[in-house]
Amino acid sequence: MLRDIRKEEKEIVLAMLGQAGFNEDQFPISERVSEYGDPFMGSINFENDRPDMYDGDIIQCEYTDDDGENVVLSLTKDKEGKLLDLDFWKSNFSALIKFPTPEIVHYKKG
């Protein structure tokens, strides 16, 4: 089910794009998104319900949630050069406690 993108989601996507050397003109951010699986994990899809279109990660970053668990965020693109999803992976698969802000994430090298 589609919903409006949240301000904090758009903010982290813009920060990740900028860190990767891109901007919203190159990768427009959909105003409507859907949540993957468990809505408490944070992963969203940008109006593209075809996971077979996955064409790789644009960038990854990580942070430590308030329970001490590591969370990895991957911003991905599809085969048409559009944003596909913002995927969250928490090491213990529990719900997110604190949604990340650009100031608390650390970018992965390589």
Q: Which domain holds residue 94?
A: 2-48+55-107
User: Per-residue pLDDT for 21 more than 60?
Assistant: yes
Q: Which two tokens stand for residue 66?
A: 């308030």
Number of domains the chain is built from? 1
Q: What is the pLDDT of residues 76-110, one digit of tens each?
A: 999 999 999 999 999 898 999 999 999 999 997 75
Q: What does the alpha-carbon distance between residue 99 and residue 29 come to, in Å, rounded to a whole number?
A: 19
C-alpha dihedral sign at 40, 46, 49, 54: negative
Confidence at residue 68, expressed as pLDDT on a 0 to 100 scale: 96
Q: What is the pLDDT of residue 110?
A: 55
Cα(69)–Cα(96) distance, rounded to whole angstroms?
9
Is the pLDDT at 39 greater than 70, yes or no? no
